[in-house]
Structure 1
């Protein structure tokens, strides 16, 4: 049996940047849900201040993921699969 020249290989046909876009959307969704729960638990905020607190928490979670977790923890040598 020979190999076919028309085999679909997903790695070559799927654009790699879409994984970063999917990750960004997931991180934004999780940070918005978490921020809304945290902001709702804080009592005595006016609606204007509540919006600033909401977006501030979203920004902190987003930056913590991309700078802290993804930037430093996920780049460790122990996590790489280089045999």
Structure 2
């Protein structure tokens, strides 16, 4: 019994870059939520200083995720399943 050639297999037809886009949007959204809570807890800031701190924290979270966690920790050989 052969396979149907007209069957839809999402892994083969779904573009791989969309997963990276979804991950990037999630990281930025979480960074903004965390940054909002941190900057709201700091009292006595001018609005322009608050904006710089807000975007600095968002950028720091983004860099920590992509360079630190995803780039170094998730690329370890021990995490790969190579049989």
TM-score, scaled relative to structure 2? 0.96
CA distance in 1: counterparts of 2:18 and 2:2, whole angstroms: 33
CA distance in 1: counterparts of 2:51 and 2:38, whole angstroms: 12
Q: Once structures 1 and 2 are overlaid, which stretch shifts more, 67-76 or 4-13?
A: 4-13
CA distance in 2: counterparts of 1:22 and 1:6, whole angstroms: 28
Deviations 1:24-60 (A, max 9, x none): 0000000000000000000110111000000000000
C-alpha deviation, 1:2, in angstroms: 3.4
Count residues with an aligned counterpart.
83
Provide the aligned C-alpha RMSD in A. 0.8
Question: Following TM superposition, where does structure 1 have runs of at least 4 consecutive aligned residues deviating by more than 4 angstroms?
Answer: none
CA distance in 2: counterparts of 1:34 and 1:28, whole angstroms: 10
CA distance in 2: counterparts of 1:37 and 1:56, whole angstroms: 14
TM-score, scaled relative to structure 1? 0.96
Which structure 2 segments of 5+ residues have no match? none
- Counterparts of 1:1-83 in structure 2, within 5 Å, are 1-83=1-83
Which structure 1 segments of 5+ residues have no match? none
